């Protein structure tokens, strides 16, 4: 299981609540999965003492990050600021990952379903979904295929541009 996020030291209500939620996810995953969990929180500047137990065990350089994503049975995603769709979620789909993601109120143009992504709202739900998935490699593999197919069909920039061009020519 892989989940790695950056600590945001903006010291406002949004960054404080996101950091705390992500830290609680990390703590829950570490407690439940021990050495089967990789990642944590990385810090650009100083380490905030309330998150010292969440420091990542994975090198933050891009090559290491991608290696861990590609080798993970499951990757975890949380929402971005303002509840936005995180860029990481799209990246995970492009790489064909089995994704456990915080439920997001924003919609993709083509709705996501449980065959593509497993959604949670709490730390406990996240852990339970991971446990359920780890019990069935077939489901993990199907979700990996489904997420890559969804990306290719609905999110790949060339596909989106083709749809925009076709739609605009029909309006003319």
pTM of the model: 0.90
Quote the tokens at residue 9.
């030291």
| 25, 4 contact by CB (below 8 A) | no
**From CA 126, how far away is CA 76, in angstroms rounded?**
8
pLDDT at 40 (0 to 100): 97
With 0-12 / 13-18 / 19 or more C-beta atoms within 10 angstroms meaning exposed / middle / buried, residue 98 is: buried
| Contact by Cβ (8 Å): 69, 38 | no
CB of 54 closer than 8 Å to CB of 26? yes
In sequence order, the β-bridge partners of residue 41 are 5, 55
Q: Are 64 and 4 in contact (CB under 8 A)?
A: no
Structure token digits, residue 37: 């969990």
Would you put residue 11 in left (φ > 0), alpha (ψ -120 to 50) or beta?
A: left
Q: Is the distance from CB of 90 to CB of 151 less than 8 angstroms?
A: yes
Contacts of 97 (CB under 8 A, 6+ apart): 69, 72, 74, 75, 144, 147
Question: Contact 144/97 with Cβ under 8 angstroms?
Answer: yes
- pLDDT value of position 124: 97
pLDDT at 172: 56
Per-block mean pLDDT, blocks of 10 residues, the chain (172 long): 92 85 98 97 91 95 95 96 88 97 85 93 97 98 97 89 79 60
């Amino acid at each position: 299981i892989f989940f790695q996020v950056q600590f945001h030291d903006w010291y406002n209500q949004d960054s404080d609540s996101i950091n705390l939620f992500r830290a609680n996810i990390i703590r829950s995953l570490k407690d439940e999965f021990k050495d089967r969990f990789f990642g944590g929180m990385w810090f650009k500047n100083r380490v905030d003492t309330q998150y010292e137990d969440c420091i990542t065990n994975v090198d933050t350089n891009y090559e290491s990050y991608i290696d861990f994503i590609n080798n993970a049975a499951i990757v975890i995603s949380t929402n971005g600021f303002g509840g936005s769709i995180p860029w990481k979620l799209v990246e995970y789909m492009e790489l064909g990952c089995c994704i456990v993601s915080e439920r997001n109120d924003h919609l993709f143009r083509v709705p996501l379903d449980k065959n593509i992504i497993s959604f949670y709202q709490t730390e406990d739900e996240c852990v339970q979904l991971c446990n359920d998935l780890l019990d069935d490699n077939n489901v993990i593999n199907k979700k990996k295929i489904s997420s890559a197919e969804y990306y290719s069909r609905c999110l790949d920039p060339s596909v989106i541009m083709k749809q925009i061009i076709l739609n605009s020519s029909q309006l003319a």
